[in-house]
């Protein structure tokens, strides 16, 4: 009479693989077990239905902030350096509030006081903090626009010290879990976003 285990349907590949390992282990002599290590015991086969082992929950690693040279494209860095420009790194801030794990970079020839400068920044940010930051900027007179890449918050044109060809000054771009900053909206295109 066949055993109950052999009458069960072999529906799961894992069960068949386990059974094959058990039969192979029976046919192979047991290796010597080093002294002090408990030898495995061979018990009766478990005929209960196999239970799925839950996979460990995947946790996304926080994205590390790039340095100033990695925040923008290599061609942009090369162009700045050809002008004698270098970068200064600062904490990323929205208004008076610093955003943890962010970076803000000033590129300029710092030997020339008051010379031209460009600013680029990136920071990770959660949805609530992003919403709070946007509301703070809007209450200070900044202007909101929705775009394909996310939400743009630009300083009021009347307050802008420098503007791009379309009249935009300093602008934040809020995406899914991140925010970028540049001294003009057009300059946001030069940022190499570490999260895409």
- Say if pTM beats, i.e. exceeds, 0.75: no
Please check whether residue 93 lies inside any domain of the structure.
yes
State the pLDDT at residue 196.
Answer: 54
Average pLDDT, the chain: 76
Please check whether residue 110 lies inside any domain of the structure.
yes
Structure token pair of residue 148: 């394909």
State the pLDDT at residue 52.
Answer: 47
Please check whether residue 13 lies inside any domain of the structure.
no
Which CATH number belongs to the domain containing residue 140 in this structure? 3.40.1000
State the pLDDT at residue 63.
Answer: 53
Please check whether residue 171 lies inside any domain of the structure.
yes
Please check whether residue 137 lies inside any domain of the structure.
yes
Of 85-89, 97-101, 107-111, where does mean pLDDT reach its minimum? 97-101
Please check whether residue 160 lies inside any domain of the structure.
yes
User: 181 in helix, strand or coil?
Assistant: strand
Please check whether residue 138 lies inside any domain of the structure.
yes
State the pLDDT at residue 161.
Answer: 85
Which position has the higher pLDDT, 124 or 158?
124
Which of 169, 175, 141 is closest to 157 using CA atoms?
169
Interval 12-46: pLDDT, tens: 333 333 333 333 333 444 444 444 444 444 444 44
| Concatenated DSSP letters of 44-92 | PPP-SPPPPPPPPPP-PPPPPPP-HHHHB-HHHHHHHHHTT-EEEEE--
Q: How many whole angstroms separate alpha carbon 170 and alpha carbon 141? A: 13
Pair type for strands 150-154 and 117-124: unpaired
State the pLDDT at residue 64.
Answer: 56
CA dihedral 144, 149, 169, 79 (to 10 degrees): 170
Of 10-14, 74-78, 112-116, 161-165, where does mean pLDDT reach its minimum? 10-14
Query: For the chain, what is the domain count?
Result: 1
Q: How many whole angstroms separate alpha carbon 63 and alpha carbon 79? A: 27
Cβ pair 125, 65 in contact under 8 A: no
| Boundaries of domain holding 158 | 68-190
Pair type for strands 117-124 and 178-182: antiparallel
Please check whether residue 119 lies inside any domain of the structure.
yes
Q: How many whole angstroms separate alpha carbon 176 and alpha carbon 63? A: 13
At residue 171 the predicted structure's pLDDT band, cuts being 50, 70 and 90, is: very high
Q: How many whole angstroms separate alpha carbon 66 and alpha carbon 124? A: 11
Cβ pair 65, 105 in contact under 8 A: no
């Amino acid at each position: 009479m066949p055993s109950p285990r052999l009458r069960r349907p072999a529906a799961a590949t894992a069960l068949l693989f386990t059974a094959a390992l058990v039969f192979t282990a029976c046919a192979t002599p047991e290796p010597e077990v080093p002294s002090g290590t408990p030898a495995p015991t061979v018990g009766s086969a478990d005929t209960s239905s196999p239970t799925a082992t839950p996979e460990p929950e995947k946790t996304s690693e926080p994205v590390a902030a790039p340095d100033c040279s990695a925040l923008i494209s290599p061609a942009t860095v090369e162009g700045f350096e050809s002008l004698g420009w270098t970068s200064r790194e600062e904490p990323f801030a929205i208004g008076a509030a610093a955003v943890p794990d962010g970076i803000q970079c000033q590129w300029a020839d710092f030997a020339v006081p008051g010379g031209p400068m460009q600013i680029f920044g990136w920071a990770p940010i959660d949805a609530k903090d992003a919403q709070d930051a946007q509301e703070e900027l809007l209450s200070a007179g900044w202007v909101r626009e929705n775009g394909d890449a996310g939400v743009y918050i630009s300083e009021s044109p009347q307050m802008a010290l420098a503007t791009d060809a379309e009249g935009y000054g300093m602008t934040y771009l809020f995406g899914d879990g991140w925010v970028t900053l540049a001294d003009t909206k057009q300059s946001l295109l030069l940022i190499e976003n570490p999260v895409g």
